[in-house]
Chains A and B, each alone.
Chain A
Amino acid sequence: MKHYQYEVIVVGGGHAGCEAALAAARRGAKTLLITSNIDNIALMPCNPSIGGPGKGHVVREIDALGGEMAKNTDKATLHLRRLNTSKGPAMWALRAQVDKKIYSQEMIHTLQIQENLDLKQEMVTRLIVEDQRVKGVRVKSGLEFSSATVILTAGTFLNGLIYIGEIVYSAGRAGEIASIDLAENLKELGFKIGRLNTCTPPRLDRRTVDFSSLEEQKSADIPLAFSLENEGKIYSDFSVFMTRTNQKTHQIIQNNINRVPFYNGTIQSVSTRYCPSIEAKIIRFPEKNSHQLFLEPEGYNTEEIYLQGFFTSLPPDTQEEALRTLRGLEKAKIIRYGYAIEYDIIYPHQLKYSLETKMIKGLFLAGQINGTSGYEEAAEQGLIAGLNAVQLLSGKEPLILDRSEAYIAVEIDDLVTKGITEPYRLRTGLAEYRLLLRQDNADLRLTPYGYKLGLISRERYKKFLKKKELIEQEKRRLKKVIIPPTEEVNSSLTNKLHTAPLSGMVTLATLLSRPEVTYDQIASLDPDRPELPREVAEQVEIQIKYEGYIKRQEIQVKRFRKLENYKIPQNIDYSGLRGISHEGREKFSQIQPLSLGQAKRIPGISPADITALMINVEKIKKQASA
Chain B
Amino acid sequence: MGEEDSEHIKMKFGENDTIAAISTPPGESGIGIVRLSGPKAMRIAQKVFRDKRFSKVDIEKFPSHTAHYGLIVDPRHQEIIDEAILILMKKPKTYTREDVVEFDCHGGILSLKRVLEVLINSGARIAEPGEFTKRAFLSGRIDLSQAEAVIDLIQAKSESSRKASLAQLEGGLKKKITTLRGKLVEIFAEIEAPLDFPDQEIEELSEIKLQKRLEEILKEVTTLLATLDYGKILSEGVNTVIIGKTNVGKSSLFNTLLKEERAIVTPLPGTTRDTLEELVNIKGVIFRLIDTAGLKNPENLVEEISLQRRGNFLAKADLILAMFEVSSQLSEEDKEIIQEINQARERNQKVIIVENKIDLKEELEREKLLELLNIKDSVRISLKAHRGIDKLEEELSNAVLQGLVIPPDGVIINNVRQAEALKRAKKGLEYALEGVNRKMPYDLLSIDLKDSLDALGEITGDSINEEIINHIFSRFCIGK
Q: Is the CB of A581 within 8 A of B196?
A: no
Given contacts A88-B444, A91-B195, A611-B471, contact A432 B464 (CB under 8 A): no
In the bound complex, do residue A578 and residue B152 qualify as a contact, i.e. CB atoms below 8 Å apart?
Answer: yes
CB distance from A451 to the nearest CB of B (A): 30
Residue of B nearest to A428 (CB): B196
Q: How far is the CA of A294 from the CA of B198 in the complex (A)?
A: 13
List B contacts of A556 (CB < 8 A): 447, 450-451
A549 at the interface (CB under 8 A from B): yes
Chain A interface, number of residues (Cβ within 8 angstroms): 53
CB-nearest residue of chain B to A84: B198
Q: Binding site of B, secondary structure by majority: helix, strand, loop or mixed?
A: helix
Q: Which partner residue on chain A sits nearest B439 by CB separation?
A: A515
Across the interface, which residues of A come within 8 angstroms of B192, CB to CB? 429
Interface residues as binary, B435-476 with A (CB distance below 8 Å gives 1, 0 otherwise): 000111111100110110000000001001110110110000
A83 at the binding interface (Cβ < 8 Å): yes
CB distance from B206 to the nearest CB of A (A): 15
Partner of A607, one of B138, B431, B468: B468
* A87 CB-CB contact with B under 8 Å: yes
Taking the complex as formed, is A248 at the interface, i.e. its CB lies under 8 A from any CB of chain B? no
Contacts of A186 in B (CB 8 A): none
Q: How far is the CA of A555 from the CA of B438 in the complex (A)?
A: 22
Contacts A552-B1, A558-B13, A559-B13: A611 and B468 contacting too (C-beta < 8 A)?
Answer: yes
Distance in angstroms from A281 CB to nearest chain B CB is: 9
Binding stretch for chain A, among B102-110, B140-148, B317-325: B140-148
Q: Which residues of A contact B1 (CB under 8 A)?
A: 548, 551-552
Q: How far is the CB of B19 from chain A (nearest CB, A)?
A: 16
B9 within 8 A of partner (CB):
yes
How many whole Å from A75's CB to the nearest CB in chain B? 25
**Contacting pair B13 A562 (CB below 8 A):** yes
| Contact, CB under 8 Å: B466 / A87 | no
Of A90, A563, A608, A610, which is in contact with the most chain B CB atoms at under 10 Å from its CB? A608
Which residues of A sit under 8 angstroms from B332, Cβ to Cβ? none
Are B158 and A600 interface neighbours, CB within 8 A?
A: no
List, in ascending order, chain A residues with CB within 8 A of B442's CB: 87-88
Cross-chain contact B154 with A579 (CB below 8 angstroms): yes
Tell yes or no: A191 within 8 A of B by CB. no
Give the chain A neighbours of B443 by CB distance below 8 A. 87-88, 90-91, 428, 434-435
Per-residue CB contact flags for chain B residues 187-205 toward chain A (1 = under 8 Å, else 0) read: 0000010011111110000
With contacts A427-B196, A611-B469 taken as known, whether A551 is within 8 angstroms of B6 at the C-beta atoms is yes
Known: A429-B192, A611-B471. A552 touches B440 (CB 8 A): no
Surface stretch bound by B, among A412-420, A489-497, A521-529, A613-621: A613-621
A53 interfacial contact with B, CB 8 Å: yes
State whether the Cβ of A612 lies closer than 8 Å to any Cβ in chain B.
Answer: yes
CB < 8 Å: which of B151, B450, B465, B471 contacts A616?
Answer: B151
- Bound CA–CA A427/B197 (angstroms): 9
Complex: how many Å from CA A91 to CA B193?
Answer: 12
A553 contacts chain B at the CB level, 8 A cutoff: yes
Contact assessment for A88 and B440 in the assembled complex, using a CB-CB cutoff below 8 Å: yes
Contact A292 B200 (CB under 8 A): yes
Contact with A along B59-88 (1 / 0, CB 8 A): 000000000000000000000000000000
Contacting residues, chain A, for B199 (C-beta < 8 A): 292, 294, 308-309
Chain A minimum-CB-distance residue to B441: A88
A510 to chain B, nearest CB (A): 13
Q: A566-586 CB contact bits vs B (8 Å, 1 = yes)?
A: 100000000000110100000
The reply to whether B155 and A612 contact each other, CB–CB distance below 8 Å, is yes
Tell whether A618 pairs with B138 under 8 Å between CB atoms, given A612-B151, A612-B154: yes
Digitize A51-85: 1 where CB-to-B-CB distance is under 8 Å, 0 elsewhere: 00110000000000000000000000000000110
Q: Is B150 an interface residue (CB 8 A)?
A: yes
Interface residues of B in 1-58 (CB under 8 A from A): 1, 6, 9-10, 13, 15
C-alpha gap A583/B448 in the complex (Å): 34
Closest-CB distance, B431 to chain A (whole angstroms): 7
Assess whether A559 is in contact with B466, with CB atoms less than 8 Å apart: yes
Q: Shortest beta-carbon distance, B14 to chain A, in Å?
A: 8
Contact B471 A615 (CB under 8 A): no
In whole angstroms, what is the CA distance A10 to B234 when docked?
68
* Given known A53-B196, A607-B158, contact A546–B469 (CB-CB < 8 A): no
Interface centre among B140, B444, B450, B461 (most CB of A within 10 A): B444
Q: How long is the Cα–Cα vector from A268 to B142 in the complex, in angstroms?
A: 55
Could you tell me the distance between the alpha carbons of A563 and B461 in the complex, rounded to whole angstroms? 18
Chain B residues near A546: list those with CB within 8 A.
444
A-B contacts counted at CB < 8 A amount to 126
In the assembled complex, which residues on chain A have CB atoms less than 8 Å from the CB atom of B9? 555
A141 within 8 A of B: no
Nearest Cβ distance between residue A490 and chain B, in whole angstroms? 20
Counting CB contacts under 8 A, is A503 at the interface? no
Flag whether A596 is at the interface (Cβ < 8 A): yes
Q: Which listed residue (A83, A555, A559, A560) contacts B198, Cβ 8 A?
A: A83
Say whether A109 faces chain B, with CB atoms less than 8 Å apart: no
Tell me if B447 and A560 are in contact (CB < 8 A): no
A562 and B155 form a contact (CB under 8 A):
no
By beta carbon, the residue of chain A nearest B157 is A608
Q: A606 contacts the other chain (Cβ, under 8 Å)? A: yes
Interface string of A427-442 (1 = CB under 8 A from B): 1110010110000000
Residue on B nearest A563 in the bound complex, by CB: B466
Tell me the residues in window 137-175 of chain B with beta carbons closer than 8 Å to chain A beta carbons.
137-138, 140, 144, 147-148, 150-152, 154-155, 157-158
- Complex contact A435–B444 (CB within 8 A): yes
Q: Contact flags (1/0) for B116-130 with A, using CB distance below 8 Å? A: 000000000000000
In the complex, residue of chain B having the shortest beta-carbon distance to the beta carbon of A95:
B198
With A53-B196, A429-B196 known to touch, is A622 a contact of B155 (CB < 8 Å)? no
B195:A579 contact, CB within 8 angstroms: no
Contact at B461–A615, with CB atoms within 8 Å?
no
Q: B195 touching A428 by the CB < 8 A rule? A: yes
Chain A nearest CB, measured from B444 CB (Å): 5
Q: Is the CB of A87 within 8 A of B158?
A: no
Residue from A54, A552, A581 in contact with B448 in the complex, judged by beta carbons closer than 8 Å:
A552
Cα-based distance from A86 to B195 in the complex (angstroms): 10
B158 touches A596 (CB 8 A): no
A88 proximity list for chain B (CB < 8 A)? 440-444
CA distance A559 to B443 in the complex (A): 21
| Alpha-carbon separation in the docked complex, A546 to B435 (Å) | 11
With both chains docked as a complex, state the minimum distance between the C-beta of A540 and any C-beta of chain B, in angstroms: 18
Give the CA-CA distance A546 to B472 in the complex, in Å: 37
- A608 contacts which chain B residues (CB < 8 A)? 154-155, 157-158
The interface residues of chain A lying within 8 Å CB-to-CB of B431 are: 552
Interchain CB contact under 8 A, A615 and B448: no
CA distance A375 to B265 in the complex (A): 65
Which of B150, B198, B440, B450 is the one whose CB lies under 8 Å from A53?
B198
Distance between Cα atoms of A551 and B138 in the complex (Å): 31
- Please give the distance in Å from A610's CB to the nearest CB on chain B: 6
Residue of B137, B158, B450 most packed against chain A (CB within 10 A): B158
A615 touches B151 (CB 8 A): yes
Question: Whole-angstrom distance between the alpha carbons of A558 and B13 in the complex?
Answer: 8
- Residues of B close to A548: CB separation below 8 A: 1
B97 to chain A, nearest CB (A): 14
With a cutoff of 8 Å between Cβ atoms, the chain A residues found around residue B447 in the complex are 435, 549, 552-553, 556
12 contacts between A and B (CB under 8 A): A53-B198, A435-B443, A435-B447, A578-B151, A581-B155, A596-B469, A607-B464, A608-B154, A610-B468, A612-B154, A614-B469, A615-B151
Known: A428-B196, A562-B466, A607-B464; 14 extra A-B contacts, CB below 8 A, are A84-B195, A87-B195, A91-B443, A551-B1, A555-B9, A556-B450, A558-B10, A563-B469, A578-B151, A579-B151, A607-B158, A611-B468, A611-B469, A615-B154
Interface residues of A (CB under 8 A from B): 53-54, 83-84, 86-88, 90-91, 274, 292, 294, 308-309, 427-429, 432, 434-435, 515-516, 546, 548-549, 551-553, 555-556, 558-560, 562-563, 566, 578-579, 581, 596, 600, 606-608, 610-612, 614-616, 618-619, 622
3 A-B pairs with the lowest CB-CB distances in the bound complex, closest first: A579-B151, A608-B158, A88-B441
